[in-house]
Amino acid sequence: MSYVLPFAIVTPPASFRRRTSPVSPPPVPKFIGRSMPRKEDRPLLIGAARFVDDVHRPGMLHATILRSPHGHARIVDIDTDAACARPGVAAVVTAEDLGAGGPPIPMRMFSEAGMGAYLQRPLAGEYVRYSGEPVAVVVAGSRYAAEDAAEQIAVEYEPLPAVIDAGQALLPDSPRVHAGTSSNLVRSFQVRSGDVDAAFAAADVTVEARIVCQRHAAVPMETRGLVAESDDATGELTVWGAAKIPHINRRILAEMLDLPHESLRLIELAVGGGFGARGEIYPEDYLIPWCALHLGRPVGWTEDREEHLRSTNHSREQVHDIALALSADGDFLALRDAFVNDTGAYVRTHGSVVPGMTAGLLPGPYRWPAFGCDVRQVVTNKTPAGTYRAPGRYEANFARERIIDLAARRLGVDAVELRRRNLIAPQAMPYANGSHTDGHAVVYDSGDYPLLLEKGLERFDLPAMTRWRSEEPGPGRRRGIGTAMFIEKSGIGRWEYARVSLTAAGQPQVHCGSASLGQGVDTVLAQICAEHLGVSYDSVSVHHGDTSQVPDGMGSFGSRATMLAGSAVREAAICLRRRILELAADELEASVEDLEITDDTVRIRGDRSVGLSLPELARLGRPAESLDRGRAPHLSDEAYFGAEQMSFPYGLHCAAVEVDLETGGVQVSRYVIAYDVGVAVNPQLVEGQIVGGAAQGLGGALLEELAYDAAGQLLSGSLMDYLLPTAAEVPRVDVLITEDAPTPLNPLGVKGAGEGGIAAAGAVIANAVSDALDVEVLRLPLSPQAVLELAAQGAPA
């Protein structure tokens, strides 16, 4: 049985996607475009928010996972007798109990025939392929008892050579990560537009470099966890701790557990950060529900930080051999790239999303008469890799924006001017960039890149920062400035569901298929509902993440919630507004066109003396009253909104840095991000998204790296070794939000805002440090040691 779930399977039919608005929304925006206070904050501030570790079910057992200490080994034998004999132990589960380790965990997107051979099963059977891979599960009355019992499991391993370097993994004589496969190459594909070879042959200047983006990860504040409980009376299995894509995960888990979809309920709780890594199906997401079903008792599990760093998706690791062809005047003639994406030991649920997005967005905001990209996705004996905020684009922007700066230096021209000269003109929109993602052509929907560049440089005050750079910084210090442009994508996933209704008490409610990961989705959807329903913002409540309350949805990933869920909420709200006005028109003996909703009351325009409140209308909408009037009972409406194409927000990062030649430290003195999101529903939330993303991007640029030794052991398996930026390292980020290019792909005009803050951080810091040291940065992170090595290559201090 195949578990692959292409989007086409879950896309609702066209008949369910309402596109016409039966009544015009209020003419003057009241809530969209305003920084309304967040609805999510109060429970968090008063300690009332419920996280997965706060879930305690009667009679709950606790699980721990025994993980492989080897990067690559054959399992010769597992002896669980001593562990099973420990007091309080309810079960010890191995691959044999699941039947060959359980069903393979499927890809949900960007999949291709042949990739199934590299999928992971919940428990390792004959081989372990990365340090941290689950080998057994121990379930006991407490986590302490489970941990003690796990230490008693005797596993005999036969160590095997580990494949650590993705380039070496492609050699014909390289050991196979997956025994029985013909290669460590999971997938390869090419993108071609124009005659690349001819463009390079005719070029006056060509520049090429090998540019390396290191392996690092999202590292959210809350680690993964879940609680599962089976109800024998109803046959329902409930899982607490879902995040990001609860409805998709329900479909996948139901198939894997051989359960009817309707008998599986997933509940999203408060989530301490997601950033791409949280919410996908991992081995534990199958193992814990399986244990709950077979033991007939609730089972809970939460990973510790060491487990998280060894087993939750890593990301970013790519090696680019990139080249740029130019005319003597600085016109871009062609971009050529061949990159290798290290996907770790297994292909996880994202399939080829990361390399696919790298190839798709590598052209950036520039005109390329010719473009070519060769992509290879490779398995190694490392923790499996997946998505991390701006997956594939952080890497692509680093490679492209670095090679542009190298070209500017080769030509002896200003790097900003070189970019300006080659930007796509706004008149060219919509613009096919010559690449594709998952077989779909990448077509930029709208944008004014030259205008954004000028606005961003003005906010950065480039003349003043250039003067700052030329000033004497003091002994042993160097200054540099850098810029980097980027294109982001949003609206992936094609569709979303929403329902807007009045409760029996007349309170407006939104139910939607999106999930909350801290991005403010409740606030934004409440603003959109209030705007188009015509009610007060404070009166709207938003509900999501419980598959028993929301029939379907695609979730929150890829900067999609506002664009798709927001548009579905808008449509449902407008339809419900019409129904409310029609009901009130009967009671007030007025035409619908003469009515308005103000202060949660329906009134005749220009006459505030007579009206019907929402609670009164909710009473009139009950079954008895409605049926007497020949109307459908209850005031509720639902909508699916679909968009076949993604939208593409865009932006600019500018940075000024000061480098300490004695310590190798990099101080970011000024950081500006200009970002066009089409329409900012809540500018404060957009700014928060951008600033948070910048902090993560700076961590990836300067500190973070998941390094391995030759045997496949993770060398940065704790927060003592894996360095994250603190408040001392993150500068004030000056954000300019622009709304010059609303997208035509949805009625709100909105584009995604979640990933632009991180997308070009690695690129801009690398460009600024290169400028400061008069060298070319070709790899990240720019750790103190790396900076000192680079400084030694540059001009004398």
- pLDDT digits 0-9 by tens, 632-691: 777 999 999 999 899 999 999 999 999 999 999 999 999 999 999 999 999 999 999 999
What are the tens digits of pLDDT across the range 38-70? Answer: 999 999 999 999 999 999 999 999 999 999 999
For position 12, what pLDDT does the model report? 38
Closest CA to 714 of 345, 167, 221, 287: 345
What are the tens digits of pLDDT across the range 349-376? Answer: 999 999 999 999 999 999 999 999 999 9
| Share above pLDDT 70 across residues of the chain, in percent, rounded to a whole number | 96
Write down which residue in 597, 616, 642 finishes a domain. 642
Instruction: Check which CATH number belongs to the domain holding 516 and give it.
Output: 3.30.365.10
Cα distance from N-terminal residue to C-terminal residue, the chain:
65
* Amino acid identity at 399: A
Write down which residue in 595, 616, 642 finishes a domain. 642
Residue 179 shares a structural domain with residue 270: no
In a domain, 528, yes or no: yes
Domain of 266 in residue numbering reads as 52-160+224-311
For position 19, what pLDDT does the model report? 39
Which whole-number Å values give the CA distances from 344 to 27, 243, 356, 385, 705, in the listed order? 53, 23, 16, 5, 15
What CA dihedral angle connects 272, 278, 279 and 284, to 10 degrees?
A: -110
Residue 593 shares a structural domain with residue 571: yes
Q: Exposed (0-12), middle (13-18) or buried (19+): which is 455, by Cβ within 10 Å?
A: middle
Do residues 784 and 665 lie in contact, with contact meaning Cβ atoms separated by under 8 Å? yes
Q: Which residues of 372-386 are buried (b: 16+ CB within 10 A; e: fewer)?
A: bbbbbbbbbbbbbbb
For position 141, what pLDDT does the model report? 97
Residue 273 shares a structural domain with residue 393: no
Residue 695 shares a structural domain with residue 765: yes
Whether residue 576 is predicted with pLDDT greater than 60 in this model: the reply is yes
Q: Does the predicted model carry a pTM greater than 0.85?
A: yes
Instruction: Show Cβ contacts of residue 377 under 8 Å, excluding neighbours closer than 6 positions.
Output: 185, 186, 187, 188, 340, 341, 343, 347, 352, 355
Residue 306 shares a structural domain with residue 453: no
Residue 688 shares a structural domain with residue 727: yes
What are the tens digits of pLDDT across the range 102-147? Answer: 999 999 999 998 999 999 999 999 999 999 999 999 999 999 999 9
In a domain, 277, yes or no: yes
Q: pLDDT tier at 543 (50, 70, 90 boundaries)? A: very high
| Share above pLDDT 90 across residues of the chain, in percent, rounded to a whole number | 88
Do residues 754 and 388 lie in contact, with contact meaning Cβ atoms separated by under 8 Å? no
Residue 54 phi, psi dihedral angles, 5° rounding? -90, -5
Residue 726 shares a structural domain with residue 797: yes
Write down which residue in 617, 642, 667 finishes a domain. 642
What are the tens digits of pLDDT across the range 207-249? Answer: 999 999 999 999 999 999 999 999 999 999 999 999 999 999 9
Residue 154 shares a structural domain with residue 283: yes
Whether residue 4 is predicted with pLDDT greater than 60 in this model: the reply is no
Helix %, strand %, coil % of the chain (to 5): 30, 25, 45
Strands 607-613 and 601-604, sheet pairing: antiparallel
For position 9, what pLDDT does the model report? 27
In a domain, 785, yes or no: yes
Residue 372 shares a structural domain with residue 405: yes
Question: What's the structural domain count of the chain?
Answer: 4
Residue 626 shares a structural domain with residue 539: yes
What are 52-55's contacts with CB under 8 Å, separation 24+?
52/222, 52/225, 52/226, 52/227, 52/240, 52/241, 52/269, 52/300, 52/302, 53/225, 53/302, 54/269, 55/227, 55/240, 55/241, 55/269, 55/300
In a domain, 2, yes or no: no
Residue 189 shares a structural domain with residue 324: yes
For position 794, what pLDDT does the model report? 72
User: How far apart are alpha carbons 103 and 547 in whole angstroms?
Assistant: 23
Do residues 750 and 682 lie in contact, with contact meaning Cβ atoms separated by under 8 Å? no
Residue 695 shares a structural domain with residue 743: yes
In a domain, 430, yes or no: no
In a domain, 1, yes or no: no
Strands 61-67 and 299-302, sheet pairing: parallel
Encoded tokens for 161: 């050579």
Q: pLDDT tier at 272 (50, 70, 90 boundaries)? A: very high
Instruction: Check which CATH number belongs to the domain holding 141 and give it.
Output: 3.90.1170.50
* Amino acid identity at 687: E
Encoded tokens for 201: 């042959």
User: What's the order of all strands across the beta sheet hosting 495-502?
Assistant: 541-544, 508-512, 495-502, 636-642
Do residues 404 and 418 lie in contact, with contact meaning Cβ atoms separated by under 8 Å? yes
In a domain, 186, yes or no: yes
In a domain, 788, yes or no: yes
Number of C-beta neighbours around residue 47 at 10 A:
6
